[in-house]
Amino acid sequence: MKVANTYTLDELMKGCKAGNRQMQEMLYKQTASKMLAVCMRYAKDRMEAEDVLQMGYVKIFQKVKEFKGEGSFEGWIRRIMVNTAIESYRKNLRTLNVVPIEDAYEQPSTGFDFGSLGMQDLMKVIQKLADGYRMVFNMYAIEGYSHKEIAETLGISEGASKSQLSRARAILQQEILKLEGFGYATHAG
């Protein structure tokens, strides 16, 4: 019976800093599925998410010596994945589907309980969002960026960030209601 080698993230980080290829492979194996889930939130499909994941790990292995131990190593890896997804988005020169700020305020601003939906279903719904909506929603609702930070990162105004988020939430709510069989949701716009 073969026992699998398992290492702590701290041990893997030290091995990666030393340039140990086996430790890099182990880091990938231990964290890739969790990081793929992060990438899937930003990508339009699994293929794009896998590309972002690979680019992210290349950056991790190139920059691991820069990790100073401030915060968790996994958090540092996650931040690189998010930044790689954002860079990929910007590089592909996608245009944001910006909604006028007046329209954003017409959208319902009530919260919606996403807890009743399975994670895979939620991921599918998020991936259906237009690129701009998906990016802003993930950055704000999941990663905790402020509208100012989103605006600076994506090269849009704070108002556009707010309108993108408002519209994304409205679309997500409608799509989730459809999934839950409430059929009375109509898709606006």
| Structural domain harbouring 17 | 9-91
Of 38, 68, 91, which marks where a domain is finished?
A: 91
Number of domains in the chain: 2
Of 59, 91, 123, which marks where a domain is finished?
A: 91
List the CATH number of the domain containing 26.
1.10.1740.10
40-96 residue pLDDT tens = 989 888 999 999 999 999 999 999 999 998 899 999 999 999 999 999 888 875 544
Whether residues 66 and 111 fall in one domain? no
Residue with tokens 């690979």: 54
Whether residues 53 and 108 fall in one domain? no
CB-CB contact of 158 with 148 (8 Å): yes
CB-CB contact of 108 with 165 (8 Å): no
Residues 6+ apart with CB under 8 A from 2: none
Q: 96: which DSSP letter? A: P
Whether residues 46 and 84 fall in one domain? yes
Q: Whole-model pTM above 0.75?
A: no
Number of Cα atoms under 13 Å in the Cβ half of residue 181: 1
The answer as to whether 174 is a domain residue is yes
List the CATH number of the domain containing 164.
1.10.10.10
133-181 residue pLDDT tens = 999 999 999 889 999 999 998 888 999 999 999 999 999 888 888 877 7
Whether residues 24 and 60 fall in one domain? yes
3-state DSSP call for residue 15?
helix
